[in-house]
Structure 1
Amino acid sequence: METEVFNSHDVILFEEQSEVQVISTDKPFIQANTIQSSLKEVKSKHVIPVFIKDNEPVISHSDFIQCTMDVASEVFRGEMILSPSVRLSHPIKGRIPTAKDKPAKELLEYEKTLYYERMAFAIELPSISDEIDGNQLSLSIGGVKSYSLDNLYNKKGVDEHFKVFIGFKNSVCTNLCVWSEGFVGDLKVKNLEQLMACMRTLFENYNATTHIQALRKLTGYSLTEQQFALLIGRCRMYNHLPNPAKNDITPLLLSDTQLGMVVKDFYRDNSFCKGEDGNINLWRLYNLFTGSNKSSYIDTFLDRSVNAFQFVDDLRDALDNRTTNWFLN
């Protein structure tokens, strides 16, 4: 199936005000240390941090999500754009001044203040889709914001930090498929206009067809169970190599715990386990990696997602060209 081209019909946009919301995913695309939320809740219930020296507000989580939706509706005019799936972590709690002397257990709801330091969100465009190895993939965009990276002790006008991505979501497992051509890992801007301009450039330059073709290539290459065992062992060894030995090796950034999840799912996952012959194709291996990555914290989630593709694509290149790859030799 060819990746669908962008049309020029009216946008079908499911916003938080709609009577029937269609959320971008009914399963969490990231799990570790996060809670589910919505754009409506973030807008209406969470206070906005400020720059201490002039009391000017930062670009808030809700601003980030909303302007991403605005850019999406402009760039992908005519496509179905679902409401964002929002995940939050690291709550920052407070209270209004009149409740400063109350014990915490006696605080009334209106006396409490709250915002979350870190946020990740994904917005699905199901009308732009394709299929790989029986898995339905939908175009997805989104980002990560952590106030901890911003210098809130300064005045408004200093750089604020964002991570933005565009890629595909595997509908079978909600794994995000992101590669370097669809990812900006440290986007620094001073205002919403700059943020929207950078996202517009990223979305317009992203080639969905090229990305799908790169993902589909993974289905044509397989590892034996013995090669898989060697791969996992080498991944565990990598971090203990002398630094000079690491220079020419693309690392896998997953933790030892996550590698353990990959091994378990190699045998047990309903969708991506090894075949009856004991082999596993690289598309399935990639999804084992991206599946275990959902246990990453918000800070490292997208970086590890991009790394997972680069790592598996390097394996494909070595198998295709019969060249040496440290993880397989």
Structure 2
Amino acid sequence: MELQIVSNPMNTHTDSFVESTDIPFIQANTIPVKLKEIENNHLIPVYVKDNEPVISHQDFINSALEVTHHVFKHEKIFQPNIRVSHPIKGRTPEAKDKPAKDLLEHEKTIYYERMMFIIEIPTITDTINGNQLSLTIGGVKSYNLDNLYSKKGTDEQFKIFIGFQNKVCCNLCVWTDGFIGNLRVKNTSQLMSGIYDLIQKYNVQQQLIALQNLLHYSLTEHEFATLIGRAKLYNYLPISLKKEIPILVIGDTQINAIARDYYQDVSFCRRDDGSISLWNVYNLFTGVNKQSYIDTFLDRGVNAYSFIENLAQSIESKESNWFLS
């Protein structure tokens, strides 16, 4: 395994035509949207008490783009791929008495409460088990987490990450050392500083080695069946018992999908003898995570890696693990 950095000094600007992926990195109830559409057509929420604007989705994305270009100035950087959910609809004053079905396009207003984006750097890649991984930076903004009934100057909350995207399936590989789940800032300068600090502290090789190591461990068919059964029991455990075992935050529907994909997934299903590598199990987890809502997506992605890593540690040390025993 060797990280490939293919420098492209003749192209240091965002590619105007290529997005960071042409396959959704998250699905659930999200829709795709272009940055220009957000900038030109979407309203910007304000603080109720002073009518001052919040840090908008476009401010967040452009801040991340600026930092990315600064840090990776000799790399090719794709256009951000953006997904949004939970639309907040409105109308212009002159259309206040119209039935909704009669509204013209210019009379409608909208912004989205939740937004997630990724920025792919396709010249920084690696390959694990035949799967190409590309370095990816992104973030999540959910206005529902902010106190918009106060005044400007109140902390606004953001989630940011740097990690890898598996180009076979567009699953995102995010772990604790490349993730900040509650970045609180008051302005875009603080936001850019937070993004920059995260990128500077992130260790590319450390994550790649950790992901590569998952290939060294496998579950038998019986162990995988036990894992699925225990995962379905997990949410019903007494709190006292939950404290003693690894945290698992995926839902029951997603567990069912993992069981299905164990047999049916083209890229990450079981071997002929029923065994399955932890690399494949991890990708089954990150695959079903694409059905999570935007505001829980990154947290569940981080938990997926931590959970699978705990299984690997148990196998390595030959210690008992509640999910496998």
Q: Which residue of 1 aligns with 2:12?
A: 12
Is residue 222 of structure 1 aligned with residue 256 of structure 2?
Answer: no
Deviation for aligned residue 1:3 = 1.4
Name the counterpart of 1:310. 306
Asked if 2 retains the 8 angstrom alpha-carbon contact of 1:10 and 1:79, the reply is no
Q: Percent identity?
A: 57
- Residue 212 of structure 1 aligns with an amino acid whose one-letter code is L
Q: Quick check: 2:7–2:123 contact (8 Å CA) kept in 1?
A: no
Partners of 2:149 and 2:237 in 1: CA distance:
40
- Partners of 2:65 and 2:235 lie apart in 1 by 39
2:182 maps to 1:186:
yes
In the aligned structure 2, how far is the partner of 1:89 from the partner of 1:13?
29
- The whole-number CA distance in structure 2 between the counterparts of 1:325 and 1:9 is 49
SS at match of 1:122: strand
Equivalence for 1:3: 3
Using the TM superposition, give the Cα deviation of residue 38 of structure 1 relative to its aligned residue in structure 2, in angstroms: 1.2
Q: Which runs of 5+ in 2 are unaligned?
A: none
Q: Hey, what does 1:98 align to over in structure 2?
A: 94
- For the pair 1:261 / 2:257, whether they are aligned, the reply is yes
RMSD: 1.2
Report the CA distance between 1:13 and its aligned residue.
2.5
**Structure 1 residue 89: deviation in Å?**
0.3
Is 1:197 paired with 2:193?
yes
Matched position secondary structure for 1:173: coil
SS of structure 2 residue aligned to 1:267: helix
Distance (Å, rounded) in 2 between the aligned partners of 1:252 and 1:80: 36
Structure 2 residue identity aligned to 1:243: I
Once the two structures are superposed, residues 222-268 of structure 1 have per-residue CA deviations (whole angstroms, 9 ceiling, x without a partner) of 00000000001111111111111111211221111001110111001
Structure 1 SS opposite 2:126: strand
Q: Does 1:76 align with 2:72?
A: yes
For 2:19, what is the secondary structure of its paired residue? coil
* TM-score (norm. length: structure 1): 0.96
Alignment correspondent of 2:145 = 149
**After TM superposition, where is structure 1 displaced by more than 3 Å over at least 4 residues in a row?**
4-11
CA distance 1:10–1:248, change in 2 (3 Å): farther
3-state SS in 2 of match to 1:82:
strand
Distance in 1, Cα, partners of 2:6 & 2:186: 31
Of 48, 60, 68, which residue of structure 1 is paired with 2:56? Answer: 60
**CA shift for structure 1 position 11:** 5.2
Q: Give the whole-Å Cα distance in 2 for the aligned partners of 1:97 and 1:3.
A: 56
Structure 1 unmatched ranges of 5 or more: none
Q: Does 1:213 align with 2:222?
A: no
User: Counterparts of 2:322 and 2:72 in 1: how far apart (Å)?
Assistant: 41
2:82 equivalent in structure 1: 86
Structure 2 match to 1:291: 287
| Residue in structure 2 matched with residue 328 of structure 1 by the alignment | 324
For residues 152-184 of structure 1, what are the alpha-carbon distances to aligned partners after superposition, in whole Å with 9 as ceiling and x for unaligned? 111110000100000000000000000000000
Matches within 5 A, 1:116-127: 116-127=112-123
The separation in 1 between residues aligned to 2:124 and 2:197, in whole angstroms, is 19
Instruction: Give 1:323 shift.
Output: 1.1
* Conserved? CA contact 2:116–2:294, under 8 Å: yes
Is 1:111 aligned to 2:97, yes or no? no
Conserved 8 A contact 1:13-1:83? no
Answer with 238-247 or 81-90: which moved more. 238-247
Q: Is the 8 A contact 1:73 1:81 kept in 2?
A: yes
Q: Is the 8 A contact 1:10 1:77 kept in 2?
A: no
Q: State the Cα distance separating 1:10 from its structure 2 match.
A: 5.6
Give, as a single letter, the amino acid of the residue that structure 2 aligns with 1:211.
Answer: Q
Is the contact between residue 6 and residue 77 of structure 1 (CA under 8 Å) also seen in structure 2?
no
Could you tell me which of 204, 229, 239 is aligned with 1:243?
Answer: 239
Paired residue type of 1:3 = L
Q: Find the aligned partners of 1:170 and 1:270 in 2 and give their Cα distance.
A: 14
| 8 A contact 1:11–1:77 mirrored in 2 | no
Q: Give, in whole Å, the separation in 2 of the partners of 1:251 and 1:104.
A: 46
Higher mean alpha-carbon deviation, 93-102 vs 307-316, is at: 93-102
Normalised by the size of structure 2, how large is the TM-score? Answer: 0.98
1:211 positional shift: 0.3
Of 165, 181, 187 in structure 1, the residue corresponding to residue 161 of structure 2 is: 165
3-state SS, counterpart of residue 158 of structure 2: strand
Using a 3 Å threshold, how does the CA distance of structure 1 residues 188 and 22 change in structure 2: closer, same or farther? same
In the alignment, is the contact (CA less than 8 A) between 2:88 and 2:112 conserved in 1?
yes
Paired position in structure 1 for 2:19: 23
